[in-house]
Chain A
Amino acid sequence: MPTEQDVRPVTEPIEHITSPVLKGNPEELRDLEAGLDNLQSDTQRKAGIDWKRVLLPVAALVVLILAWQFYVSLGLKRRDLVPGPFDVFAQMVTLWGEGKVQESVWTSLQRGLIGFLISVVIATPVGLLLAQVAPLRRAFGPLISGLQVLPSVAWVPAAIIWFGLTDATVYFVVFMGAIPSIINGLISGVDQIPPQYRSVGKVLGASRLQMALQIVLPAALPGYLGGLKQGWAFSWRSLMAAEIIATGGTIGFGLGSLLDQGRLLADMSVVMSAILLILAVGILVELLVFGPIEKRLLQRRGLLAGSTR
């Protein structure tokens, strides 16, 4: 910018109107800014392994098992109706020996994961489309919310009539549970995006597709991840419901089938084993998959400060 100021020799002292003290040569300005930057921004804190995170949940588990054992040892109920932790553990060892634990966990987990992943692949573009295109959202939004409220178990009878006792029945029920909740999670994530992000995208010249993929989707990621978590929970629940109700045929032997078998044999320790296995899979998926992803996501955006996570 060729103004009169540029023509002046630099050595000549220029008295400036607003910040005569701060106004110096470029080197000085750089140092000033660096100093201010260091004063104003936090230094990174690194922590090692937080043992409380491991020990507290383990302690809670031990307390619960002790309470259970204490209740059983009071002898208020018949032992075959309310088995103690050791009975259940022994039963689990037996089931493991027979290979039933491995088979049922593997079958269910595999189905749950495949069903969930297919749901994600279907629900993500649909959710993005609904969130970005107002007429579509208004048309289908209430239906999708309704489907999320509808218990997916309600689809089991229909699915059995349509697909018989095959894996298709199980997958259909999983989809009906997971897809609406992932779509809803994504939509609510998109709704919570600060409007300014879209303005920035527009100013930067993003096309509709770029806006959706490079701005809206990453901005909605925390809500989307919440939707995925819920979607997984719905997949897993729907799967168990389907496995309990629809047994036999070409349907493989899953955790729900194990549970139903325990019921048929009136063997409470098998039933308890199956319930604990279903719970354990749920906890492990949360701890090993969703927990770390969510923590990393929130931490990178500076959203974890002061939370109890």
Chain B
Amino acid sequence: MPVVLEHLGKRFGDGAPVLDDVNASIAKGEFVALLGASGCGKSTLLNIIAGLDQPTSGALEVPSDGAAFMFQDSALFPWLTARGNIELALQLAEKNSGKAGSKAARSARATELLELVHLGGAGDKRPHELSGGMRQRVALARSLAQDRQLLLMDEPFAALDAITRDLLHDELERIWKETDRTIVFVTHNVREAVRLGQRVLLLSSRPGRVVAEWDVTEEHRTDAGRAGELTATITRRLRQEIRRHAN
């Protein structure tokens, strides 16, 4: 089990708890969609798993080498080219694992990763010269450059147009299968969660807690009707969760 969360809680200062008693376990190679309304602490939970934030209570087990992370906006460094961004990630990852690789090896690996996200010809472009979808693919390549088993994604496609997002769903599915990563994908989009996840976890709001969980089976993937039903069920449950806060 690469990720185990036990009774995890988080509050900032003296405020109300953002996360309360979160329990979940994620298996190796699994693709889990973490679904919730805005402000339910999805990103906080992801930050805690990534080690960017500390829980105030409970325990968590994460891979010892940490996790790769992909942000909502690509967060590419504007002073580096697409290739430079990936090579920096490779360089920092090398120093961490103690094996110093050559510049040529990094360059070759960066070329491979750019090819993987179908950006072989755009390596020398700077982030501002790329479209939003291309930037997210470079960011994906950069997070794969870290070579960690666990990949955390914080609404990575939320800011993209619908056409690009659909394409990137296919792209991400393909890359997940090719690279055998464990992925935790945070989203507020039910369709996206059902489209990508093998399992969908619903997080309640204020405090955030895993309140429901669905398996997305092969049947859902191939039968549009079944997928629609599941989407409707999850949406109903999500809305019920949001209505609780009406008063």
Q: Which residues of A contact B (CB under 8 A)?
A: 1, 3-6, 14-20, 22-23, 26, 29-30, 32-34, 36-37, 40-42, 44, 196-197, 199-207, 210, 214-215, 218-219, 221, 300-302
> Which chain B residue shows the least CB distance to A38?
B131
Asked if B68 is an interface residue, CB under 8 A from chain A, the answer is yes
- CB contacts (< 8 Å) of A16 on chain B: these are 221-222
Docked pose: A301 CA to B76 CA in angstroms: 11
6 pairs, CB–CB < 8 Å, chain A vs chain B: A29-B171, A29-B174, A34-B118, A197-B75, A204-B92, A300-B126
Which of A22, A197, A202 meets B77, CB within 8 Å?
A197
Which B residues, 5 to 61, have Cβ-Cβ distances below 8 Å to chain A?
Answer: 29, 50-52
Docked pose: A202 CA to B174 CA in angstroms: 28
- CB contacts (< 8 Å) of A42 on chain B: these are 129
- CB contacts (< 8 Å) of A301 on chain B: these are 78-79, 126, 128
Which B residues, 166 to 190, have Cβ-Cβ distances below 8 Å to chain A?
Answer: 166-167, 169-171, 174, 176-177, 180
Q: Are A204 and B218 in contact (CB under 8 A)?
A: no
- CB contacts (< 8 Å) of A203 on chain B: these are 50, 52, 66-69, 146
Q: Are A26 and B131 in contact (CB under 8 A)?
A: no
Q: Are B133 and A36 in contact (CB under 8 A)?
A: yes
Docked pose: A47 CA to B177 CA in angstroms: 45
Q: Are A41 and B170 in contact (CB under 8 A)?
A: no
Q: Are A17 and B194 in contact (CB under 8 A)?
A: yes
Q: Are A205 and B146 in contact (CB under 8 A)?
A: yes
Q: Are A29 and B167 in contact (CB under 8 A)?
A: yes
Max chain B C-beta neighbours (<10 A), residue from A18, A22, A201: A18
Docked pose: A15 CA to B129 CA in angstroms: 36
Which of B92, B163, B174, B191 meets A36, CB within 8 Å?
B163
Which of B50, B69, B224 meets A17, CB within 8 Å?
B224
Q: Are A40 and B134 in contact (CB under 8 A)?
A: yes
Q: Are A215 and B66 in contact (CB under 8 A)?
A: no
Asked if B93 is an interface residue, CB under 8 A from chain A, the answer is yes
Q: Are A41 and B130 in contact (CB under 8 A)?
A: yes
Docked pose: A300 CA to B88 CA in angstroms: 18
Which B residues, 148 to 177, have Cβ-Cβ distances below 8 Å to chain A?
Answer: 163-164, 166-167, 169-171, 174, 176-177
Q: Are B78 and A302 in contact (CB under 8 A)?
A: yes
Q: Are A214 and B129 in contact (CB under 8 A)?
A: no
Q: Are A15 and B167 in contact (CB under 8 A)?
A: no
A-B residue pairs, 6 tightest by C-beta: A302-B128, A40-B131, A17-B227, A203-B69, A301-B78, A205-B96
Which of B52, B96, B222 meets A14, CB within 8 Å?
B222
- CB contacts (< 8 Å) of B171 on chain A: these are 29, 33
Known: A17-B195, A203-B52, A302-B78. 13 other contacts (CB 8 A): A5-B221, A17-B221, A19-B170, A23-B170, A34-B118, A36-B164, A40-B164, A200-B75, A204-B92, A204-B93, A205-B66, A206-B92, A301-B79
Docked pose: A77 CA to B92 CA in angstroms: 70
Docked pose: A199 CA to B75 CA in angstroms: 9
Asked if B214 is an interface residue, CB under 8 A from chain A, the answer is no
Docked pose: A33 CA to B166 CA in angstroms: 11
Q: Are B227 and A205 in contact (CB under 8 A)?
A: no
Q: Are A37 and B66 in contact (CB under 8 A)?
A: no
Docked pose: A307 CA to B69 CA in angstroms: 34
Given the known interface contacts A23-B170, A302-B129, the answer about A202 and B222 at a Cβ–Cβ threshold of 8 Å is no
Determine how close the nearest CB of chain A comes to the CB of B91; give it in whole angstroms.
Answer: 8
Docked pose: A23 CA to B180 CA in angstroms: 21
